[in-house]
Amino acid sequence: MEPILTVDNLKTYFFQSEGTVKAVDGASFEVYPGQTLGLVGESGCGKSITARSILRLVDKPGRIVDGSIQYYPANGGQALELTELPSDGATMREIRGKDIALIFQEPMTSFSAHYSVGNQIMEAIRIHDRGLSQQAARARAVDLLRKTGVPMAEQRLDMYSFQLSGGLRQRVMIAMALACTPRILIADEPTTALDVTTQAQILALLKDLQRSFGMAIILITHDMGVIAEMADEVAVMYLGRVVERGPVDQIFHAPRHPYTRALLRSIPSIDGEPRTKLPTIRGSIPHPYSRPQGCPFHPRCLERIAGVCDQHEPALARMADGQAVACFLHHREEIRQN
């Protein structure tokens, strides 16, 4: 199967008077049709900026400084290099929403409080289908709300975002993202601040919509339980880099990177000893202005190799089983060379 999106060595930096923040510092992964790629890692690892970089929505003073984002159109034409397109150009505006759509992390701040949610969905529809009448756009918006499980869809269409519950706002946000049937849906923490029951409903909805529309999903989350339920492939990010990548079963049952193993150890288990503290990852993510030399995870790693991990940065290398990992524990040849 050929990918529909390839991200290679992506670097997105924010240039500020205090210093340079390397929000994304060499991320690489592929997205395949009809599959879900899970981007996972602690807060501050660059997951959301990676998504915004794909859509060229990085606010100043941030900008993409290196790397490649290739999108392969549905018509089988030549791949588009998104990093070379003007962020406000006609081609990039056409891709946003129509080919690649984004569900924002917080729907309350993503909707305008001055317009009804219906007006905002209809605007998204008519931007990419200018020949559509107002009446036809409204009918399509109602249909989208019904598909996303919004009760009393026609009445909800005329309501404002602050009149809706958190779960309904998230469903309306999904409906707007699906307005033009995108090939790739980026879901940035789609279950944040929702209760457990509503979370399960939203995840089930995304699965159903994926089957119906045949779209790929990039699911951004720090919740490994959500990844286990939703993802086909997993990319584990730490400090702007992908440190491990592979099929979800391999990542969960045979993790290779110490950071991935530490994340998995922190998940509560039904078989765990009651009244015992969950293991935590010692330390915290380094300050963005003082990144460590060598492997970015080595100050927190219990398996670091002195004189190697603190001096050299491992490359993301593919293993024999197709899994990829950036760790000297699995690349002895790199240690000899260094």
Report the largest interatomic distance among the alpha carbons of the chain, rounded to a whole angstrom: 68
Domain boundaries, the chain: 104-181
Look at residue 281 and give its three-state secondary structure: coil
Q: Cα–Cα distance between 98 and 188 in angstroms, integer?
A: 18
Cβ-contact 27, 46 below 8 angstroms:
yes
DSSP state of 175: H
DSSP 13-77: EEEETTEEEEEEEEEEEEE-TT-EEEEE-STTSSHHHHHHHHTT-PPTTEEEEEEEEEE--TT--
Look at residue 127 and give its three-state secondary structure: helix
SS3 for 183-239, per residue?
CEEEEECCCCCCCHHHHHHHHHHHHHHHHHHCCEEEEEECCHHHHHHHCCEEEEEEC
> Within its chain, how far is the Cα of 50 from the centroid?
7
Question: 209 is written with which tokens?
Answer: 């919509």
Rama region for 193: left / alpha / beta (φ>0; ψ in -120 to 50; rest): left
pLDDT tens for the chain, 338 residues: list them: 799 999 999 999 999 988 899 999 999 999 999 999 999 998 889 999 999 999 999 999 999 999 999 999 987 778 999 999 999 998 998 899 889 999 887 766 778 888 999 999 998 888 877 778 889 999 999 999 998 888 999 999 999 989 988 888 888 888 888 888 899 999 998 877 678 888 888 888 899 989 988 899 999 998 888 899 999 999 999 999 999 999 999 999 999 999 999 999 887 777 777 777 878 888 888 887 888 999 999 999 999 999 999 999 999 988 888 899 999 998 765 544 54
Q: Cα–Cα distance between 270 and 233 in angstroms, integer?
A: 25
Cβ-contact 86, 105 below 8 angstroms:
no
Rama region for 4: left / alpha / beta (φ>0; ψ in -120 to 50; rest): alpha
Question: 137 is written with which tokens?
Answer: 């756009």
Entry pTM: 0.90
Whether the link from the prior residue into 33 is cis, omega within 30° of 0, is: no
Residue 102: strand pairing partners = 186
Residue position matching structure tokens 């939703």: 230
